[in-house]
Amino acid sequence: MAHAIVEWTANLADEADIKGLIELIAANMRDSGGVFPWGGIRVRGIRIDDYVIADGAADDAFVNITVKMGAGRSAEFKREFFGNLFEAVKAHFAALYERRYLALSLYVEEADEAGSFKHNNIHKRFRKAD
């Protein structure tokens, strides 16, 4: 399980490549060396139309990424993988960051297995035939 939720302010609609960002995140998760099973990867974008940033006086914008994953990945893996992912996110937005006020953030949460319920047959597509 690795689910990423990308929240982005509506004032980025004409400037930011959100679809490219979603694809970048999914590709990084698929390239995790099997740490994130492909059938459990979900990346989605949510446009935020109602928001206030800082003092509300400027045309500030934000992109927030929250990753939810099952427990069990080492602190070293999380630090390296998500550190590299955040660097890729920053590179994705580098030109836009130079042109406007923009806040980027990435948070990682581990799901409590006792409170996590899943039913998924997508994994079946990625299993090798016996």
DSSP state of 29: H
Any residues with CB less than 8 A from the CB of 124 and at least 6 apart, and which? 39
Calculate what percentage of the chain has a pLDDT beyond 90: 79
Per-residue model confidence as pLDDT tens digits over 17-42: 999 999 999 999 999 999 999 999 99
- Residue 8: its H or E element: strand 2-9
Query: Quick check: 130 pLDDT over 80?
Result: no
Per-residue model confidence as pLDDT tens digits over 67-89: 999 888 999 999 999 999 999 99
Check if the beta carbon of residue 22 is closer than 8 Å to that of residue 45. yes
Quick count: other Cβ atoms within 10 Å of Cβ 28? 20
Q: How far, in Å, CA of 108 to CA of 89, rounded?
A: 14
Q: Amino acid identity, residue 19?
A: K
Please provide the size of the chain in residues.
130
